[in-house]
Amino acid sequence: MMHPHGPGHTAPRPDGRNIDPALGLLEGEGALAKVRDLAGAFPGRAGRLMEAKTPADALARATATGLPTYYDQPLLQEPVWKWYIPAYFYLGGLSGAASVLGAVAEMGGGRAFRRLAQGCHLVSVAGEILGTGLLIADLGRPARFLHMMRVFRPSSPMSVGTWVLLGSGAFSTGALLLSRRSGALGGLGHVASAGAGLLGLALSGYTGVLLANTAVPLWQEARKSLPSLFLAASAASAGELLEFLPLRRIERKMARHFAAMGQAATLVSMIALEREAGRVPRVTRPLRRGLPGALWQGARLLTAAGLGLGLLSRRHRLGALLGTAGAIALRFAVHHAGKHSARDPRASFAVQRAKPRP
């Protein structure tokens, strides 16, 4: 076949490297990167270019604000997680809090609340399975999900969380299958239930630690209130979902009270987060504007509505439904606000120029 470069040459691969395969070997350290979609490889880049300012604009803004930036370009890379991750935050938190309630109901109530305990185990197993699926789907290389279990790295909240999720999943499955049996198997089921309860505390809160352990100004500056917020929202989510299971009247009331405490704590934690991260006002800007701002305020309204309907009316299921929507909106609000926060170089600069926190 004739080729414009002459015989013996093949066309360069469309991989953006311009290396003729007949002449060059792909052995460089970046050569392993698979290129399928040159234009779509960096979804963030289009946004960066849109935000690019000409030298004159950048200079004018720097003079006006007194805060220089590099053509308003983001300082940080934007988090790459997709909707799977906030959805997992909801499901993982739900599972953890359900395990806690299930364990306490089993230990403190004996056979009286066995349907509630069983319902809790079921909810947590379902949440853990679905949540794990979402986590795997979000990986850039889903086939390598087992690499998560190569090491235990205490400095990485994601590594800690992986092991917590694994242990919690094993325990809550054991509790679901065994705790209603009699004899030794039943005893083993109770031990599993207690283990799931203990790990459930970590499962519903570690995601807050995970987000706080980033350079994203909003998440980093909310490092004390984020774990509390996620724990509170987890209790609310679990209680709300249990409302829909076939439970005894008193058990449904228990779920409702558990949800109410979670909802009240969520509303308090949201204010605590706004105050903690708002020490430098620029940081909480994403919570007041745009899509994340709308989600954040929507989560607050829906949670308050769920709390009110659950306690003061008879429309419990409507309340639980609104509360669930609020708990989901809250996770998406935190996730999207973090993405917006990462795009704002002034937020990082302002935090680092401010006096250190006490």
Partner 1 sequence: MALGFFTDTTLCIGCKACEVACKQWNQLPDDGFAFTGMSYDNTVHLGAATWRHVAFVERTVTASGPPSGQMSGVGDFSWLFLSDVCKHCERAGCLEACPTGSLVRTEFGTVYVQPDICNGCGYCVPACPFGVIARREDDGRAWKCTLCYDRLKGDLEPACAKACPTDSIQFGELATLRHKAQARVEALHDRGMTEAYLYGADAAAQPGTEGLHCFFLLTDRPEVYNLPPDPVVPTRHTKESWRAMAASSLGLLAAATVVVLGARLAERRGRR
84 binds partner 1 (CB under 8 A): no
31 or 318: CB nearest partner 1: 31
Residue 337, number of CB atoms within 10 A of its CB: 28
Residue 29, number of CB atoms within 10 A of its CB: 6
47 or 298: CB nearest partner 1: 47
Which residue from 189, 333, 338, 344 is in contact with partner 1, where contact means CB under 8 A?
338
Residue 345, number of CB atoms within 10 A of its CB: 20
Q: How far apart are CA 306 and CA 326, in angstroms?
A: 8
Nearest to 254 by CA among 246, 243, 265, 244: 243
83 binds partner 1 (CB under 8 A): no
Print the binding letters for residues 210-239 with partner 1: x by CB under 8 A, - otherwise. Answer: x-xxxxx--xx--xxxxxx--xx-xx----
Please state the closest distance from residue 315 (CB atom) to partner 1, in A. 21
CB 227 within 8 A of CB 274: no
156 binds partner 1 (CB under 8 A): yes
Tokens 């679905």 belong to 130
In the chain, DSSP finds a helix count (H) and a strand count (E) of 12, 0
Which residue from 111, 314, 353, 355 is in contact with partner 1, where contact means CB under 8 A?
353
28 or 185: CB nearest partner 1: 28
75 or 126: CB nearest partner 1: 75
71 binds partner 1 (CB under 8 A): yes
Helix axes of 183-212 and 114-138: crossing angle, nearest 10 degrees: 40
Tokens 């509630």 belong to 116
Please state the closest distance from residue 184 (CB atom) to partner 1, in A. 25
Print the binding letters for residues 11-50 with partner 1: x by CB under 8 A, - otherwise. Answer: ----xxxxx------xxxxxxxxxxxxxxxxxxxx--xx-
With residue 19 as reference, give the H or E element that holds it: none
Print the binding letters for residues 115-154 with partner 1: x by CB under 8 A, - otherwise. Answer: -----------------------xxxxx-xx-xx-xx-x-
CB 319 within 8 A of CB 308: yes
257 binds partner 1 (CB under 8 A): yes
Which residue from 9, 53, 114, 180 is in contact with partner 1, where contact means CB under 8 A?
53
Q: How far apart are CA 76 and CA 336, in angstroms?
A: 15
Task: Give the range of 173-181, 186-194, 252-260, 319-327 binding partner 1 by CB under 8 A.
Answer: 252-260
